[in-house]
Amino acid sequence: MLEKGTKAPEFELFDKDGNAVKLSDFFGKKVVLYFYPKDDTPGCTRQACAFAENFEEFKKLDAAVIGISKDSVSSHVKFAEKFGLPFILLADPEHKVIEAFGAWQEKKNYGKVYFGTVRSTFVIDENGVIEKVVPNAKPDTNAAEILEYLKK
Residues 32-57: pLDDT tens digits? 999 999 999 999 999 999 999 999 99
Residues 88 and 59 sit within 8 Å (Cβ to Cβ): no
Tell me the whole-structure pTM to 2 decimals: 0.96
CATH number of this structure's domain 12-151: 3.40.30.10
Average of pLDDT values for 145-150? 98
So what's the pLDDT on residue 109?
Answer: 85
The alpha carbon of 135 is separated from its chain's Cα centroid by a whole number of angstroms, namely: 12
Residues 44 and 36 sit within 8 Å (Cβ to Cβ): yes
Task: Judge whether residue 133 has pLDDT over 90.
Answer: yes
So what's the pLDDT on residue 112?
Answer: 93
Annotated catalytic sites, by residue?
44
Phi, psi dihedral angles at 120 (to 5 degrees): -150, 155
- In percent, the amount of the chain with pLDDT more than 90 equals 97
Average of pLDDT values for 111-122? 96
Phi, psi dihedral angles at 119 (to 5 degrees): -60, 115
Helices (H), the chain: 42-53, 55-60, 73-83, 96-100, 142-151
With cut-offs at 50, 70 and 90, classify the pLDDT of residue 28.
very high
Residues 68 and 34 sit within 8 Å (Cβ to Cβ): yes
